Amino acid sequence: MYDIVIIGAGTAGLSAAIYGVRAGKTVLILESGMFGGQIVNSRCIENYPGIPKISGYEFSKQLYDQAVSLGAEYRSTRAANLLKKDGSFTVLTEEGKEELSAKTVIVAAGAKHRTLGVPGEEKLKGQGVSYCAACDGAFFRNQEVAVVGGGSTALSDAAVLSDYCKKVYLIHRRDTFRGEAKLVDTLKEKENVEFVLNSRITAIHGEEAVESVTVENVSIGGTKELPVQGVFVAVGQVPDNQMAAGLVELDDMGYIISGEDCKTSCPGIFAAGDCRTKEVRQLVTAASDGAVAALAACEFMI
């Protein structure tokens, strides 16, 4: 019986582990992929307080090493289901079909960026293909980039990038945007922003880094190639919370409904990081969630 089982080893999960073991609790971290989450592939992090510059891998490795050296246990396995029985919880794993018992559970499974699913995207992730303009935009100063999406996130990304990029192509599959009208009006006034509507990217090209994209017009047909050095994908995220769906309340998008206290609708289960409902999803807020969730779990066990 563990005091705390943490599902997910991103920034939120590893931060929760650090705070949990420092509080004297037995902590088990479950992660189906590589520790670190989405940020592990980022070439450079420059917006984390106290660390002027660090790679995503090194940042994640330091968090992982810190948690494990303090005494957290780590297993490479996927949490397939979460059950409650007699006041405690059982986590069923996919590999080996283990049944792990816990007094409390912190779900920090994160959210995966929705991808375009086109040739070249996977190959060039972190080499020009990005899912976070706030994280990576500064690397493309005075260069030409493409932003893909039609919601407020894509519009905001295009606005931010237009401040220091030479050219920003805003590519959207429809002829109207779903995002805020005010953002659209702001972008229309910018000389270095070009709307590419009724269009979709069909391929991303480049050997070591992004060099261009192929764009197809979905209304009249035909393709063209745009010379860009960066592609910022903003077509939504997909949370990975299905293992807890039977116990905690989710919103329409699948995010765990949870406030800044990280408490869920099920006492003893806490949500931290990108998997929960929140306005800001950044490294620093994920770390904050991890600390809050771990301390809340410790308080729950008193």
In angstroms, the CA 289 to CA 256 distance is 13
Catalytic entry in 3, 132, 262, 289: 132
Residue 165 catalytic? no
CA 202 to chain centre: 24
Helix pair 181-188, 152-162: axis angle to 10 deg: 30
Catalytic entry in 3, 135, 165, 274: 135
Catalytic entry in 3, 136, 157, 289: 136
In angstroms, the CA 110 to CA 271 distance is 10
HSE at residue 144, side-chain half, CA atoms within 13 A, is 11
Strand boundaries in the chain, DSSP class E: 2-7, 27-31, 73-76, 79-85, 88-93, 99-107, 111-113, 129-130, 144-148, 167-171, 193-196, 199-205, 212-217, 223-226, 230-233, 237-239, 269-271
For residue 250, the cross-strand partners are 256
Residue 132 catalytic? yes
Residue 86 catalytic? no
HSE at residue 32, side-chain half, CA atoms within 13 A, is 14
Strand boundaries in 172-245, DSSP class E: 193-196, 199-205, 212-217, 223-226, 230-233, 237-239
Query: Which residues are tagged catalytic?
Result: 132, 135-136
